[in-house]
Chain A
Amino acid sequence: ETGVTQTPRHLVMGMTNKKSLKCEQHLGHNAMYWYKQSAKKPLELMFVYSLEERVENNSVPSRFSPECPNSSHLFLHLHTLQPEDSALYLCASSQTGSETQYFGPGTRLLVL
């Protein structure tokens, strides 16, 4: 595996479900990001982890819970989501000191 991978690629869940999105980077980076991409809106930065510590949380609802167990893995735990949370969730990584971010293919989430 190379670059940034995300699983699953597609997810359909009900509003009462609990699911997790997974991101793994194989680039030796030490910063990871979650973005939300909705139709006709700019990419929204959700969470930033640098050296496994959260450094940014852009007022994201608590039904989204990130976890960064090590510098290569990032999770986004989902519970009691709303239909408006349906979107493409993108993970990215970078090396601290460099602002260049590399993106995964995303997880397309549909909340029914």
Chain B
Amino acid sequence: GEDVEQSLFLSVREGDSSVINCTYTDSSSTYLYWYKQEPGAGLQLLTYIFSNMDMKQDQRLTVLLNKKDKHLSLRIADTQTGDSAIYFCAESIAGYALNFGKGTSLLVTP
């Protein structure tokens, strides 16, 4: 299938905002997801957005969805060193399957 595209690496300073971008493939996806993976761990569901929304805010996290361009972004406000991880964008397809990007490695430096 087609690829969900993400930039592979992002580095930010502690306290700054991080923005991770994603381009997905299926315009009929019902939900779009952000997962976080810390070293040696599985995927933790961070947040998701329903396709009829264009923004969702959850504490330090803001998700923006542009359906026309099939673009999804995750903004992390006041980024902390504990936010260093790999962030995966995923789109729902075929009612139950998820199509993942390759992940963006976020490095937060003091």
Residues of A near any B CB (own CB < 8 A): 4, 6, 31, 40-43, 45, 48, 50, 55-56, 90, 92, 94, 96, 99-106, 108
Contact = CB atoms under 8 A, between A and B. Distances in A.
Contact-residue size bin, chain B (C-beta under 8 Å from the other chain): 20 to 34
Given A42-B4, A42-B102, A103 B44 contact: yes
Given A43-B88, A90-B42, A101 B4 contact: no
Contact of B96 (A40, A90, A99, A102): A99
Nearest to A31: B96
Contacts of B96: 31, 48, 50, 55-56, 94, 96, 99
Interface in B53-96: 88, 92, 95-96
Contacts, number: 53
A5 to B, nearest CB: 10
B43 interface: yes
Contacts of A108: 40
Interface of B: 3-4, 30-31, 33, 35, 40-45, 48, 88, 92, 95-103
B97 A56 contact: yes
Contacts of A55: 96
